[in-house]
A = this chain, B = another copy of it.
Amino acid sequence: MQFLSDNAAAVHPAVWAAMQAADAAQAPYDNDALSQALDERFSDLFGRPAWGLWVASGTAANCLALATMVQPHGGVVCHREAHIEMDEGGAPGFYLHGAKLMLAEGDGAMLTPAAIAAVIDPVRDDVHQVQPHAVSITQATEYGRTYGPADVAAIAAFAAARGLPLHMDGARFANAVAFQGATPGALTHGVAALSFGFIKNGGMGAEAIVFFDEGAARLARYRRKRAGHLQSKGRFLAAQIHAMLDGDVWLANARHANAAARELAGGVAERLLHPVEANEVFVALSAAERAALRGQGFGFYDWGEDAARFVTAWNAREADVAALARALAAL
């Protein structure tokens, strides 16, 4: 009964089916019909002109998106615990040619206009200091928190006032949409580019970068090839994305995962380190308690000395979730 992560879960049957339906040879790269349909698909979903590119990982999505916003001598304001800072092996330094991550503070790994201002206001506008070129937020955050439409809009407005485009790392965007109950468009108001995650949510190896500016998308297409991310059988990545969007599989999966997380959290409300707004549950647990849970067959990551992180996947089995919820509540 694994609650280690959602990033290696099985692939949704609809995704498998769509991939197999795409088997016959088509034009290579992103010249196939499925890839070519992504712009329109995302325009429909977000309710405004959008351009969609597939890539094989969230790291590539984030970095290619940021590469359209940030010059090598600039910086990206992000949270101190953002994935791009903590877990991408220095990929932003690679893709942005040495640009700097400018680290902001905030509970639950959430940014606010004030937190961003605290980072950039002290920067003198001279050549000795790296100037901010963009802002990046994570939705849901690294602690499973989500921004509501007003939160995003406030950050976007603040960033725009400073001349900074806004990137959203949406590795768990689906979970955020499911929790907030807002439309994808409402949750990305003012966002210049979104890394729209599917892999943690039932996909196999396809994330989308959704741009809301055609020039940025055009630039990213060159950079994607240059990064070796333009796969020749790209139709299989496009097929995954379409399958996830068809019939709102992406939302159903996220709702399932979120519900499982809520169920886990239900019995340990007083132990929660963060409000549960997506599919991650951070619980204060002693080493003995963690050992006991593991003895019962539950897998999860320690989170520091005194806590654990449980992640519920799109296909979390209800029996497993119920068993873990009971075990937690019984502590």
**Which residues of A pack against B, CB within 8 Å?**
2, 5, 7-11, 16, 20, 23-28, 32, 55-61, 63-64, 71-75, 86-100, 127-131, 199-200, 204-205, 219, 221-233, 235-237, 313
Interface of A: prevailing SS: loop
Residues on the B chain within 8 Å of A200, using CB: 232
Residues on the B chain within 8 Å of A86, using CB: 129
Q: How many monomers of this chain does the complex have?
A: 4
Q: Which residue of chain B is the closest to A23 with respect to CB atoms?
A: B10
Query: In the complex, A221→B128 CA distance in Å?
Result: 10
A60 touching B127, Cβ below 8 Å? no
A89 touching B9, Cβ below 8 Å? no
Query: In the complex, A8→B98 CA distance in Å?
Result: 29
Residues on the B chain within 8 Å of A61, using CB: 228
Query: In the complex, A64→B127 CA distance in Å?
Result: 14
Residues on the B chain within 8 Å of A226, using CB: 72-73, 88-91, 93-94, 127
A110 to chain B minimum Cβ distance, whole angstroms, is 22
B222 touching A73, Cβ below 8 Å? yes
Residues on the B chain within 8 Å of A223, using CB: 73
Pick from B11, B90, B225, B231: contact of A100, CB below 8 A: B90
A98 to chain B minimum Cβ distance, whole angstroms, is 3
Q: Which residue of chain B is the closest to A86 with respect to CB atoms?
A: B129
29 sample A-B contacts, Cβ–Cβ < 8 Å, listed by A number: A7-B233, A8-B26, A16-B20, A57-B230, A59-B225, A60-B229, A72-B72, A72-B94, A73-B90, A73-B222, A73-B223, A73-B226, A74-B90, A89-B127, A89-B128, A89-B129, A89-B222, A90-B100, A90-B226, A91-B227, A91-B228, A93-B100, A94-B98, A131-B222, A204-B233, A204-B236, A205-B236, A227-B227, A229-B229
